[in-house]
Amino acid sequence: MSIIDPTALESRRPVPIREAGKAQAALLVAGSCMPVLGAVLLAPVLPTLNQVFAETAGVAILVPLVLTLPALFVALFSPLAGYVADRMGRKQLLIYAMLAYALFGTAPLWLDTLESIAVSRIGVGIAEAAIMTCCTTLITDYYAGQQRNKYLGLQTMVSALAATAFFALGGALGSISWRTPFWLYAVSAVLVVPMIFKLWEPAKSQAAGLAAKQPVPWRQIGAPAAVTLFGGVVFYALIVHLPYVITGLGVQDAALIGGAAAIASLATAAGAISFRFLAKLGTRKLLAGAFGLAAVGLCVVSVAGSVPVAVLGAVIASAGTGVMLPTLLTWAVNGLDFSQRGRGTGIWTGTLFVGQFLTPIVLGATAAALGNLGLALGALGLACALALLAVLIRGPRLVTASH
């Protein structure tokens, strides 16, 4: 007859499950906007930086790097951030990353050389990798089913709207001084306070024990990551290049160019928020629809002879990419176990930002080969049409949400 140890029974009792609500979702969605802030805030002050540091050797290379270095290091460090999140816990890493983001983001306020500013941007990118990975992982940890779909769509929608707002805000603050926009990076130090009190670590001890034993499920995450690499190029194609298209149509008015970008951002947001209602259609149908809209929109932009036609094409393509992003993320993470979710999300985030980093390189090289940017966008549209066919033939089925 065996003797049952009551302390062993006590240790096996389930820990009460805390229910996440709107406050947690708001904090995580707001945190997800930090990489967007890093990507677009400084774009309006790049010409000013060229003038201020005109005597610096390599200024023509260093100034664009100030904008793009964070995206590169998000791509490089997101998988590592996912590994740390699975081993150490999501909340702890998120808090440290938010503080590091504020420190490195505001560093140019007192740095006096372009080289040191560029180095500080590497720190911003590493912090962004951890923030984006942890925020997305915690959303998938805290919520399931329709709620998860709702907040993943909201994450993309708010990020799209934030990009428009941060671009305008960066221009307004940059008119005061080239240093002024860097103050906005301190917002993460404000956000971190409610995060400390309102967020919690889901099943931290269990995750830390299992993470070392369970390998990354490459068979499951590999296909979504590969499609996301291409999807990242498609998603950022018009975000980066629509102003050049509008300028090529003879428009020099910055307000009109910004208005066209804002309309496209709103279409992205509309596509993202519709994901909540369309998710029941399944991954294959959603991806097919997203690539189909992107194909049509990019081809319309490529042949547009007027601004209204170009904006119409941008709206069609952006509505498609707005659906595409949460669909790809859901496909990547929904089947992952809790102890694998951080690494899976990190890999997905990394491939998305590789796509962002490659977008101007790919389209620039294609434009050089074909003769102009319009043809390059048209070629990307045809690639989206091929992706549509591939999804219909071999695409994923409906992915069941993992609790």
Query: Which pLDDT belongs to residue 198?
Result: 93
The yes-or-no verdict on residue 118 having pLDDT over 80 is yes
Q: pLDDT, tens digit, for every residue of 19-46?
A: 888 899 999 999 998 888 877 777 777 7
Query: Which pLDDT belongs to residue 6?
Result: 40
Domain residue ranges in the chain: 19-394
Over residues 320-347, the mean pLDDT reads 87
CA separation for the pair 221, 228 (Å, rounded): 10
The yes-or-no verdict on residue 17 having pLDDT over 80 is no
Over residues 61-81, the mean pLDDT reads 86
Query: Which pLDDT belongs to residue 213?
Result: 55
Closest alpha carbon to 352 in 169, 258, 221, 163: 221
Query: Which pLDDT belongs to residue 129?
Result: 94
Q: pLDDT, tens digit, for every residue of 181-232?
A: 899 999 999 999 999 999 998 865 444 545 445 677 777 788 899 999 999 9
Over residues 367-376, the mean pLDDT reads 91
Task: Kindly list the distances between the CA atom of residue 4 and the CA atoms of 11, 15, 83, in Å, as whole numbers in the listed order.
Answer: 13, 21, 37
Query: Which pLDDT belongs to residue 254?
Result: 64
CA separation for the pair 70, 126 (Å, rounded): 7
User: What is the band of 311 on the pLDDT scale with cuts at 50, 70, 90?
Assistant: very high
Query: Which pLDDT belongs to residue 96?
Result: 96
Indicate the pTM of the whole model. Answer: 0.80
Which one has a higher pLDDT value, 145 or 252? Answer: 145
Query: Which pLDDT belongs to residue 108?
Result: 92
Q: pLDDT, tens digit, for every residue of 223-266?
A: 899 999 999 999 988 887 888 888 888 877 767 777 787 888 88
- In the block, tokens 């707005």 appear at 322
- In the block, tokens 């002024």 appear at 180
The yes-or-no verdict on residue 3 having pLDDT over 50 is no
Closest alpha carbon to 187 in 23, 36, 346: 36
SS3 content of the chain, % helix, strand, coil (to 5): 85, 0, 15
The yes-or-no verdict on residue 76 having pLDDT over 80 is yes
User: What is the band of 1 on the pLDDT scale with cuts at 50, 70, 90?
Assistant: very low
Query: Which pLDDT belongs to residue 144?
Result: 84
The yes-or-no verdict on residue 18 having pLDDT over 90 is no
The yes-or-no verdict on residue 367 having pLDDT over 80 is yes
Query: Which pLDDT belongs to residue 203?
Result: 65
Closest alpha carbon to 15 in 147, 197, 201, 140: 201
Query: Which pLDDT belongs to residue 163?
Result: 77
CA separation for the pair 28, 240 (Å, rounded): 26
Mean pLDDT, the chain, whole residue set: 84
The yes-or-no verdict on residue 2 having pLDDT over 60 is no
Residue 392 is encoded by which pair of tokens?
């219909």
Closest alpha carbon to 299 in 364, 387, 382: 382
The yes-or-no verdict on residue 384 having pLDDT over 50 is yes
CATH class of 19-394: mainly alpha
The yes-or-no verdict on residue 5 having pLDDT over 60 is no
